[in-house]
């Protein structure tokens, strides 16, 4: 059984729609010598909810990774490409390392984070100012095991009114591991992000760019569409329900909205994306909650997701969303693999 939306969610294109460009360009002064051009992979690691995805979006200068106030929003690693005048930084956002290793999804998330740690040039370890929990210690233990050079971003400094409290925290942190450096930041407010970026760049090996300068990610629009819909589920529904859901893009096609070039230009209009998405839940009762009274809840979520997709893709989007029940998808390894959680 599936539930379509009453009406298509196809509204006029927002004037603010921007193509995915890399707005972080030229935040660091280029060194005169071209041979110092740097390029490398940086894994963003930390416990759930510490602000990894928010920091990645800030470093990229635009939203790529989804965020919410709930822990474990990130389930897939995602590559964000930041092309600067004197280097290219390839950020890998990872699912938060966590202790609750219980079900198949959690085991998958930990495996994913560990595999990435061993395979990058630099680790950006994100912790929260004045907080160092058992989960942070667990993440640091994994980092130490991998032996990769590590820089720390001490995030959420905007929450600390008495900044003098930070110094002893930073000193204690420096005793825990031989970090390359420790930089206090606020990903939310954008404080100290440029000095952090300069430190990251300086710690990368010399090398030519691996991606074209206008490429923001290696992930497809299809993948990003699923993530943007899942973000709405994380942000809008109760504490537990989002963890019992996942999103699958059943079809993603591009259709030309006009036969020839747009009026007054010699360029054909960008093709519109036509997306059919499935939201998988584990029980009929969850399906009813996702859909809401007369479909209002689902319609609001899908409508916002569609606007976010248009912003990221820089093209019009027609989105149809259906909700289906798949029993215990999150605890079954085979079901996980069928939903795209099979890389690690």
Ligand X SMILES: Nc1nc2c(ncn2[C@@H]2O[C@H](COP(=O)(O)OP(=O)(O)OP(=O)(O)O)[C@@H](O)[C@H]2O)c(=O)[nH]1
Kindly state whether residue 50 participates in binding ligand X, applying the rule CB under 6 A.
Answer: yes
Question: What is the dihedral angle through the alpha carbons of 16, 21, 22, 25, rounded to the nearest 10 degrees?
Answer: -90
Report the Cα–Cα distance between both ends of the chain, in Å, rounded: 32
User: 284: part of which helix (H) or strand (E)?
Assistant: helix 284-291
Cβ–Cβ contacts within 10 Å for residue 102, how many? 9
Q: Is 95 annotated for ligand binding?
A: yes
Site string for ligand X, 60-79 (x = CB under 6 A): -------xxx-xxxx-----
251 marked as binding residue: no
Rounded CA-CA distance 282/248 in Å is 14
Is 271 within any annotated ligand binding site? no
| Single residue of 83, 155, 245, 246 touching ligand X by CB under 6 A | 155
Q: How many residues bind ligand X (CB under 6 A)?
A: 24
Helix (H, G, I), strand (E, B) or coil at 299: helix
Q: Of the listed pieces 25-33, 79-87, 151-159, 224-232, which binds ligand X according to CB under 6 A?
A: 151-159
**3-class SS at 189?**
coil
24, 43, 54, 64: which one binds ligand X (CB under 6 A): 54
Of these, 48, 80, 184, 242, which contacts ligand X (CB under 6 A)?
Answer: 48
Give the range of 43-51, 175-183, 225-233, 283-291 binding ligand X by CB under 6 A: 43-51
Which residues, other chains included, contact 230 with Cβ-Cβ below 8 Å and sequence gap of 6+? 66, 75, 242, 245, 246, 247
Q: Does 293 bind ligand X (CB under 6 A)?
A: no
* Burial class of residue 290, CB neighbours in 10 A (0-12, 13-18, 19+): buried
By CB under 6 A, name the binding residues for ligand X.
Answer: 46, 48-54, 67-69, 71-74, 95-96, 155-156, 158-159, 186-188
Q: What residues form the annotated binding site? A: 46-53, 93-97, 155-158
Q: What residues form the annotated binding site for GTP? A: 46-53, 93-97, 155-158
């Amino acid at each position: 059984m599936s539930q379509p939306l009453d009406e298509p969610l196809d509204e006029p294109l927002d004037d603010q729609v921007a193509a995915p460009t890399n707005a972080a360009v030229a935040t660091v002064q280029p060194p005169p010598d071209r041979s110092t051009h740097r390029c490398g992979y940086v894994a963003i690691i930390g416990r759930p909810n510490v602000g990894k995805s928010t920091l990645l979006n800030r470093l990229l200068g635009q939203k790529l990774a989804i965020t919410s106030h709930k822990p474990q929003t990130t389930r897939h690693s995602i590559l964000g490409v930041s092309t600067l005048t004197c280097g290219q930084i390839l950020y890998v956002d990872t699912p938060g390392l966590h202790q609750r290793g219980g079900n198949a999804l959690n085991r998958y998330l930990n495996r994913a984070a560990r595999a990435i740690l061993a395979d990058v040039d630099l680790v950006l370890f994100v912790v929260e100012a004045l907080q160092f929990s058992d989960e942070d210690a667990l993440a640091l233990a994994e980092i130490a095991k991998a032996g990769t050079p590590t820089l720390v971003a001490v995030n959420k400094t905007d929450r600390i009114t008495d900044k003098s409290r930070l110094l002893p925290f930073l000193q204690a942190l420096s005793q825990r591991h031989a970090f390359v450096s420790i930089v206090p930041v606020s990903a939310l407010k954008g404080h100290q992000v440029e000095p952090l970026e300069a430190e990251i760049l300086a710690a990368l090996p010399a090398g030519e760019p691996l991606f074209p300068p206008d490429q923001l990610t290696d992930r497809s629009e299809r993948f990003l569409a699923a993530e943007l819909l899942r973000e709405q589920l994380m942000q809008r529904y109760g504490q537990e329900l989002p963890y019992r859901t996942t999103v699958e893009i059943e079809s993603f096609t591009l259709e030309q909205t006009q036969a020839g070039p747009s009026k007054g230009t010699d360029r054909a209009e960008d093709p519109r994306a036509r997306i059919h998405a499935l939201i998988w839940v584990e029980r009929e009762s969850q399906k009813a909650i996702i859909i809401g009274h007369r479909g209002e809840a689902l319609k609001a979520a899908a409508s916002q997701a569609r606007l976010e997709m248009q912003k990221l893709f820089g093209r019009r989007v027609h989105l149809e969303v259906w909700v289906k029940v798949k029993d215990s998808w999150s605890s079954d390894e085979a079901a996980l693999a069928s939903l795209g959680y099979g890389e690690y």
